[in-house]
Amino acid sequence: MNNATPEPRFARTAARVPDASPIARRALHDQVVARLRDMIVEGELAPGERVPERELCARLGISRTPLREALKVLAADGLVDLQHHRGATVSRLTADAVDDMFRVMEALEALAGELACARAADDQIAAIRALHEQMRAFHARRKLSDYFRLNQRIHAGIVEAAANPVLANIYRGLSARIRRARYMANLSRARWDEAMTEHELILEALAARDGARLGRLLRVHLRHKAEVVKAVLLGKSGGS
């Protein structure tokens, strides 16, 4: 008679877990979200336009399921509107929404700047400086998409250097919603040049660890962006 204790079923199941690999699916999801977000932010998918699901699936080499999962994320970020049985459309920006978002972002980034000057490690400031130099080169070559990606990394880097997890979490949520408006501001060449000059001053204040000055500069920087975007949305000549 065999009195050996049988191996628990859950133990045999657990032994097979390393063979599973959900990472690839997560990576695919993140890539689809990022690609669609860029298309919306950069105007390839225009406000009010219906999202062409079949065309995008063919272009990205994916099925409808990951595309629709990505659209749910973008809907939560306010970039698309989902309608039952009618698909998704790119949401429209309004001047009032831009004003509301930028007012809050002003406060968040100003606080982040003040905290970063007090808390940032030297290597964090050096990393932001390196991103700034790369961004300057893209500005000189008029490579807006590349410039903008580095620009967003600089702003996020200042928030990270503030070392305040609550602030960082709130910033991430709003940053996803406001990104399209921030990109639009640079479609004005005059505003883009002005923004580059403002970033030079922002870097100087950060390097000097002058928190009060950096906070003021970030507020003004965002306020200028908001005014340009609102002018475009309202059809005023100042946004051209």
For 3-51, write each residue's pLDDT tens digit: 555 544 444 444 444 444 444 556 888 899 999 999 999 889 999 999 9
∠ CA 85-68-172, nearest 5°, is 120
Give the pLDDT of residue 80: 94
- Distance separating alpha carbons of residues 98 and 101, to the nearest angstrom: 5
Per-domain residue ranges for the chain? 21-90, 95-239
Residue 210 has pLDDT above 60, yes or no: yes
- Distance separating alpha carbons of residues 152 and 135, to the nearest angstrom: 10
Give the pLDDT of residue 105: 98
The 10s digit of each residue's pLDDT in 153-209 is 999 999 999 999 999 999 999 998 899 999 999 998 999 999 999 999 999 999 999
Residue 99 has pLDDT above 80, yes or no: yes
Instruction: Among 23-32, 76-85, 91-100, 113-122, name the most confident range.
Output: 113-122
Residue 218 has pLDDT above 90, yes or no: yes
The 10s digit of each residue's pLDDT in 168-184 is 999 999 998 899 999 99
Give the pLDDT of residue 83: 85
Residue 149 has pLDDT above 70, yes or no: yes
The domains spanning 21-90 and 95-239 adopt the same CATH topology: no
Confidence at 92, pLDDT banded by 50, 70, 90 = very high
Q: Which CATH superfamily is domain 95-239 in?
A: GntR ligand-binding domain-like (1.20.120.530)
Extract the tokens encoding 106: 């002003």
- CATH value of 21-90 in 3.20.20.100, 1.10.10.10, 3.30.1330.80, 2.40.160.20: 1.10.10.10
- Distance separating alpha carbons of residues 82 and 71, to the nearest angstrom: 8
